[in-house]
Chain A
Amino acid sequence: MLAYTLVGGLLFGLYFGLVALGLNLVFGVMRLVNLAHGDFLMLGAFAAYWAYQLFGLTPVSALAAEVVIFSALGLALYYAVVPRLLASSDPEMLSFILFFGLSQALQALAVIAFGNNPRSIPATVFGRAPVRILGQAFPAAWMVSGVVSVALVLFVYLYLYHSRLGRATRAVMSSREEAMVSGIDVHRVSAAALGVGLMLAAMAGAFSPFMLGSIEPGMGTAVTTVSFTVTVIGTLGEPLGTVLGGLVYGMSLMLMESYLSSWANLLPYLLLIAIMLVRPAGLLARRARYA
C-alpha cells in the first residue's frame, strides 16, 4: 500500500505542480493574484471535454488547440484590464477583487453554457490496461498526465532560462521598475506571462477529469485554493518552486487519503497553516538581504 501511495503521490504531485504553475508565473511577473485561475482550468477542462465529444480527440490531441485559444485569451485579458490595475494605488488588493469578480462571472457563464451536470471523459481514453510500476497498477491517464506535466514544466524552464523573452520575464520578476528602466517592454513580457499562465491552467484542465474527478462549472474555486497552497509551499513568485510545492502536496494528499481519509480535505488548509508557521516565505525562498 505504501508503494502505491508514494508512486501515486509522485504522479499527483507532478500534476498539482502543473495546476499551480500558471498561477505562480502570473504572480511572479505581475504581483497579481489570479483568483480566477481555477476557472480557467475549468474552461480548459470543458474545452477538452467538447473536443472529445464533438471530434473524438483525446485530451493530449486537444492540447494544441488549447495553447492557441488560451494564450490569445491571456493576451487579450492582459491588455483589457491589467495595465489599469497596475496603475492603481494598490494593485495587489484590487487584483483580488477584480479576479474574484471574473471568477464568479466565468462560473455563471459556464453554468449557462454547459449546465450543472457533472461531465467526464472516459478513463479508458488512454487505453484499458493500467500501467504497472513497482508491482502496482496505475490508471494510464495518470501516467499520461504525469508525463505531460513534466514536459510542460520543462517548457517553462526553457522559456524562463533559455529564451530572450524568458530572460526578460525573469528580469521583470526581479524588479519591474529596473526592467522598465533597462528598456524591457514590461507590458509585452507581462502579457506573454499571462498568456502562458492561462495556457498552463487550461492544459492542466484537460487532464482534470482523470485527476480531479468529474468537471462542472463550480470546480474552479477548490482548484484555486489548492493552487494557492501549492504556490505558497513552493514560494510565491518562484515558478519552478511550484513543482516542489506540487510534490509536497501530492505526497501529503495520498498519504492522508491512505491513512486518514476522513481528514484528507483539510490538507490544503493544514499545509498552508504549517508553512506559514514554519517557513512563511515558502520552501525555496531565498534569504532576504538588507543592504
Chain B
Amino acid sequence: MMRQKGLAGCVAIAALALIGLGPAAWAADAPAVLKLGTLYAGSGAFAVPSTSEHEGLKFWVDQVNAAGGTYVKALGRKVRLRLIAYNDRSSTTTAAPLYNQLITQDKVDILVSDFGSVLTSVAVPIAQTHKMLLFDPTGTGAALFSPDNPYVVLCSLPTSAIWPYALADFLKKFEPVRRVALLYATNDFTGSQAATLRERLRGSRVELVYDQGVATNTSNYAVLLHNVEAARPDAVIEFGYANNDIAFLQGLQASGLKFKMVFAIFPGQLFSLLRKNVSEAGLAYTYTYPTPPLLAYNKVNYGPGLEAFLREYRQKRGEDANFLTVAGYNTGLVIGKTLATADKLDQLALRRAVEQFSGKLFTLDGLFKVDRSGAQVGELLPVGQFLPSGNGVKMQVVFPFALATGKPVYPAP
C-alpha cells in the first residue's frame, strides 16, 4: 500500500512537472541567447548587395536585443540573439565549409544564408544534410527549392522563376512591343528568369528576336549591344546581377545606341549604386522591377512600416537603406515571427510555424507566402519605369495596370 502511495506520488510529481512546472524547468535549462549564424561577402562580386543585406539583418538583431530579446514561444519568454557571421568573400568554395562550421562547430540555432542564389546554392544541401532550417533572404533560383526538402524558406523575394510574370504580361499586353531581345547572365538567378520569360512569351504575338546568354562576370557589353541592335527589337530585356546591369547600361550610353525600351533588374533594387555608376541620365526611361524603398507596401501587420524603418535606419546607421537592407531586415522579421509561433525549437517545428503564418504576414517587404517547397510566392514584382524629374529620376509603376501610377513612356526619347 505504502509502495503504491509512493508510486502515485512519484507519478503525480512527474505529471505536475510535465503540466505545470515543466515549461519553467525547460526554460531554466534553455540557452540564455539564441545563436544566429550567417555569412556575408566582404569582398568580391557580391560584396555590395551582400553587405547591404547583412547590415539589414544586423540592424534587426540590434533592435531586438535593445528591446530585451525576441519572444520565443517554445521557451515562454524573450531571448537575446547572438549573431555569428563569417566572410565568404563571394566564393562558394569558401562559403561551403563556413556554413558547415556554423552548424557543426558554432552549433547555431538559426541559420541564414548569404545574398543571392550563387552563395545560397551551397548552403541548401548542407542545411538539408544537417536537417537545419535555412532562412534564405534572397537566393531565389528555382533550382534551390524542391517539395522533398523542408529545410529551406525564402524570405524576402519571390523565387526568380516567377519574377518575370508581370514583365511577360506587360510585354504581351503592351501593343507597340512585338519584337523582344533577351540578354541574360547564365546563372541560376537570371537563367531561370530567362526561362520563365521565354516560356510565357511562347505562343503570344511577341517574338523573341534575340536570345543570348552571357557569362555572369561579363563586364563589356559593347559588341553584344551591336548584335542586339542588328535584331531590331522593340524592347531589350537584360537580366543580370548588379555588375552586369552597370556594364550593360554604361555600354549602352557609350555606344550611342538607342532602344525603344530597356529593362534591367538592379536599378530597382540598388538604385543609389546604379545612379552613381550610370548616372540619372543613363537610368532615365529604363524599366525595372521596383522594390522597397522605391515601392511602398501600405498593408503591414508585422514590424515597422517602410517609412518608419527607413527613418530609424538613417538615424542609427547614418546612411540610407537600399532594397537589400530591407531584405536582410525582413529576413529578421520572418525569423522573429517563426520563433514567436513555433511550439518547439526543433528545426521541423520552425518550418511548421512558417507554414502557419505563411500567407497572413504582411511586412514592409509585402506579403510573405511560401509554397510547399519553401519558395516565396507572395510578392509579385510589378514593372516600373524611371522618368526624368528635376535633376534626377523618379519611379512610376506601369504594370500591372491596376497598380500603375503612370503610363509607360514609349518609345524612350
Residues of A within 8 A of B (CB): 1, 4-5, 8, 107-108, 111, 116-120, 122-124, 128-130, 136-137, 139-142, 210-214, 216-218, 222, 254, 257-258, 261-265
Interface of A is mostly: helix
A residues in contact with B230, CB < 8 Å: 1
With A139-B255, A262-B215 as contacts: A120 and B223 at CB distance below 8 Å: no
Contact (Cβ within 8 A) A213 B250: yes
Contact (Cβ within 8 A) B42 A261: no
A residues in contact with B380, CB < 8 Å: none
Interface membership of B279, Cβ < 8 A: yes
Interface membership of B218, Cβ < 8 A: yes
Sorted from nearest, which 9 A-B pairs have the closest CB atoms?
A213-B219, A123-B254, A116-B47, A139-B254, A130-B256, A265-B215, A257-B223, A120-B277, A213-B247
Contact (Cβ within 8 A) A8 B222: yes
Interface membership of B149, Cβ < 8 A: no
Interface membership of B51, Cβ < 8 A: yes
Interface membership of B243, Cβ < 8 A: yes
Question: A197 CA to B212 CA in the complex, in Å?
Answer: 38
With A118-B243, A261-B212 as contacts: A111 and B253 at CB distance below 8 Å: no
With A130-B255, A214-B246, A258-B223 as contacts: A116 and B217 at CB distance below 8 Å: no
B220-259, CB under 8 A of A: which get 1 and which 0?
A: 1011101100100000000000110011001101111100
- B326 CB to nearest chain A CB (Å): 18
Interface membership of B273, Cβ < 8 A: yes
Contact (Cβ within 8 A) A262 B186: yes
Residues of B within 8 A of A (CB): 42-45, 47-48, 51, 186, 212-215, 217-220, 222-224, 226-227, 230, 242-243, 246-247, 250-251, 253-257, 273, 276-279
B residues in contact with A262, CB < 8 Å: 186, 212-215
Interface residue from A120, A218, A254, A257 paired with B250 (Cβ < 8 Å): A120
- 27 A-B pairs whose Cβ atoms sit less than 8 Å apart in the complex: A1-B226, A5-B223, A107-B43, A116-B48, A117-B48, A117-B273, A117-B276, A118-B242, A118-B246, A118-B277, A119-B276, A119-B277, A124-B253, A128-B256, A130-B256, A137-B256, A139-B254, A140-B254, A213-B250, A214-B250, A216-B47, A217-B43, A261-B218, A261-B224, A262-B214, A262-B215, A263-B215
With A139-B254, A217-B43 as contacts: A254 and B218 at CB distance below 8 Å: no
Interface residue from A116, A118, A122, A222 paired with B43 (Cβ < 8 Å): A116
Interface of B is mostly: helix
- Minimum CB distance partner of A210 in chain B: B254
- B222 CB to nearest chain A CB (Å): 7
Question: A258 CA to B220 CA in the complex, in Å?
Answer: 12
B residues in contact with A217, CB < 8 Å: 43
Interface residue from A140, A218, A257 paired with B224 (Cβ < 8 Å): A257
A residues in contact with B255, CB < 8 Å: 130, 137, 139
- Minimum CB distance partner of A5 in chain B: B223
Question: A122 CA to B276 CA in the complex, in Å?
Answer: 10
Question: A188 CA to B134 CA in the complex, in Å?
Answer: 59
Question: A128 CA to B258 CA in the complex, in Å?
Answer: 13
Further pairs besides A116-B42, A213-B219, A263-B215: 18, Cβ < 8 Å: A4-B226, A107-B43, A117-B48, A117-B273, A118-B48, A118-B246, A120-B246, A120-B278, A123-B254, A137-B255, A139-B222, A212-B220, A213-B246, A214-B250, A257-B223, A264-B215, A264-B218, A265-B218
Q: Which of B42, B215, B257, B278 has the largest count of A CB atoms less than 10 A from its CB?
A: B215
B residues in contact with A218, CB < 8 Å: 43-45, 47
- Minimum CB distance partner of A209 in chain B: B250
- Minimum CB distance partner of A116 in chain B: B47
Question: A222 CA to B43 CA in the complex, in Å?
Answer: 15
B residues in contact with A128, CB < 8 Å: 256
Q: Which of A117, A118, A128 has the largest count of B CB atoms less than 10 A from its CB?
A: A118
